[in-house]
Amino acid sequence: MAEEKKELTIEESFAQLDEMVKKMDSEDISLEESFRLYEEGMKLLLAVGGKIDAVEKKMQALMPDGEEVPFE
């Protein structure tokens, strides 16, 4: 029976990325584990980047007269 993965929120994704960085900074981590965490982190960054882009597009659509407001 396959487990369904819960989609992480943006905040949860950043928290998970922070934990990965802490693990990678550890001197007790193997090179293989570092590579695995790096690959997993890059996938997570791509996913969270897509979520942020989607939120930005929704915000722009909500602006009156289609006016763009820069995000900073």
Determine, yes or no, domain membership for 71.
Answer: no
Task: Please report whether residue 53 resides in a domain.
Answer: yes
How far is 10 from 28, CA to CA, in rounded Å? 29
Does residue 35 sit within a domain?
Answer: yes
* pLDDT, tens digit, 9 for 90 and up, residues 26-67: 889 999 999 999 999 999 999 999 998 888 888 777 777 666
pTM of structure:
0.68
Res 70: pLDDT: 62
* Cβ neighbours of residue 47 closer than 8 Å, sequence gap 6 or more: 8, 13
Is residue 16 in a domain?
Answer: yes
Structure-block tokens of residue 25? 């900074």
Residue 1 lies inside a defined structural domain of this protein: no
Domain extent at residue 56: 11-22+30-61
Q: What is the pLDDT of residue 21?
A: 94
Residue 72 has pLDDT above 60, yes or no: no
> Could you tell me the pLDDT band of residue 1, with boundaries at 50, 70 and 90?
very low
How many domains is the chain built from? Answer: 1
Q: Is residue 68 part of a domain?
A: no
Residue 3 lies in a domain: no
